Structure 1
């Protein structure tokens, strides 16, 4: 065998061996790459567990198409509303409807009140978080004795009206990220049941509500009197920098888009459904606790977890409780929201 033939075979052998080595290296790199990627994806999926219902509010069956409106009133938005003809449903509703759905005849009162607020937009500390896992805590008696406090505090917590937390932490938690209220449901000393960083969201239902807010902010003598019997507090000692005014469109959308109530009935959504609508726009995952009222013929079960002496109230006639119950059941069944009291929720969050 010639020297050239041997050299050629050796060269071919080493070339083949080199190719095998490179193939092995490439295979190892691929295996390592996919291992790292799978590990990363698993970690991401685990981290995204709190956002498993991300942006589910976009589903068309909710009937909402105005997704870019601001949740709170601002001076800028009202000036724009007055300076240009309406182009969207949002602007049309605010211009031509009266409170609680629009600002017809109340625009000037709203503008004047906004001048007293140092901040009007959603705080950056809340808006900048990539994943908002929120829970709207209702005031229903169903939460009484359930010991959901720790689970509730693992969310951004949205509370309603004057519901206390100090004596009920074990059931309703102690954290409050946002609290919705109107004059008659205002806490005179909000810091007793909220944090200094709690966003206090004022919900205007009637023109006099703006007058009440102006008077308590200016600390003038309060002249507002409620003819219904429940009087708003004469003082409100909250953190003004954390006070916002809810856009009435939130109430409109909750009433006519979500609940689809008949306008001739002159009923509107409860604060709980209004808060849920706000949460569905602001949060990626929305859960609930303490929702539900006693049945129409149940005059013994208390309405609220904190006032066990009060049974079904006359004021509920302003709302369609049956429609709200049915809507909540539909949303839960569709996976838009979840009730933390349900066995399926508790099984997933063990």
Structure 2
């Protein structure tokens, strides 16, 4: 009898737990649906002017459960106060040698760089096409250059060069997402988009345009780079956490730069084409600009799950993937 009572109690707890989870997911779906529906109802022609839009009222539950249109993706002074859970998670990634006041760093940042909302112009008249250009060797001999350059935004990652590779990777760059250890010069028309994995990354950005005194993080870094101060942007720490928890389901320790860039593009673009992700045709992973082999599944990023998630985005028609001819 006692065993039966315990089983009954466990069964009731299981039903209760499932019920709470179901209500949570239903509520989250409802909030996002209402947000998107209000956007569509406020216009005559839908959510964007492209043939297909990243946000679509006919989205699959898989996408709706992950995509949060209200998460801050770029940092500014007004959204810079971090929730306690975000601050704890983000600073846990860091190994700062000394305590630094985050608020003071932010104040300095936005005394130097643009302090405004970006890409809040989404609507039925906009069709912003974006090319996210990774660094895979599968770009070699792809002849994707002209196609990449046709996009409104061309977002490149870390050190990926264009000079000498124009036929395959294009020559246009509107945004380059990087961090201190991957920093390169960018031309005057390109947005330098800092991906801050630590507060020292923000301090390095300040130093680059002022004292140039930061020359080392966990490795040697460039004390200065060529870039347009008026086009500097900073990825919001909450966005990094959101990508990790919502899109990667906490696989790995934190997301890769490439994967964060892809999700960033989903938030600022209406149509997203992805180039230079994945292995070459022979299964090897290396950059198109060098021959050092890498292993996608190693490291802190949960690469296998990132790859699986990108394939799912392809299946639900949120991105188009271009993997070259090799």
Corresponding position of 1:166? 163
1:19-48 Cα deviation digits (max 9, x unpaired) = xxxxxxxxxxxxxxxxxxxxxxxxx9xx95
> Structure 2: any 5+ residue segments left out of the alignment?
1-44, 95-99
Corresponding position of 1:197? 189
In terms of mean alpha carbon deviation, does 157-166 or 104-113 score higher? 104-113
Shift of 1:240: 0.2
Larger radius of gyration: 1
Structure 2 SS opposite 1:317: coil
Corresponding position of 2:3? none
Shift of 1:275: 0.7
Distance of 1:150 and 1:93 partners within structure 2: 44
Distance of 1:327 and 1:315 partners within structure 2: 14
> Contact (CA 8 Å) 1:53, 1:285: kept in 2 or not?
yes
| In the alignment, structure 1 residue 186 sits paired with structure 2 residue 177 | no
Shift of 1:65: 5.8
| In the alignment, structure 1 residue 55 sits paired with structure 2 residue 55 | yes
Corresponding position of 2:275? 289
> Contact (CA 8 Å) 1:286, 1:337: kept in 2 or not?
yes
Shift of 1:340: 2.8
Shift of 1:342: 8.0
Which is helix-richer, 1 or 2?
Answer: 1
1:271-330 Cα deviation digits (max 9, x unpaired) = 1110111111111111101101479xx7xx4510111x3112699512111111111111
| In the alignment, structure 1 residue 149 sits paired with structure 2 residue 145 | yes
Cα distance change on mapping 1:161 and 1:326 into 2, 3 Å: same
| In the alignment, structure 1 residue 73 sits paired with structure 2 residue 69 | no
Return the TM-score normalized by structure 1: 0.68
Corresponding position of 2:300? 318
Structure 2 SS opposite 1:97: helix
Structure 1 SS opposite 2:273: strand
Report the aligned-residue RMSD: 3.3
Return the TM-score normalized by structure 2: 0.73
Shift of 1:149: 0.5
1:45-98 Cα deviation digits (max 9, x unpaired) = xx95x43234149654233364223321111222xx37xxxxxxxx45434432
Q: Give the number of equivalent residue pairs.
A: 271
Shift of 1:221: 4.0
1:95-142 Cα deviation digits (max 9, x unpaired) = 44324889x963432332222114443268x86871111121111111
Structure 2 SS opposite 1:201: strand
> Structure 1: any 5+ residue segments left out of the alignment?
1-43, 83-90, 344-350
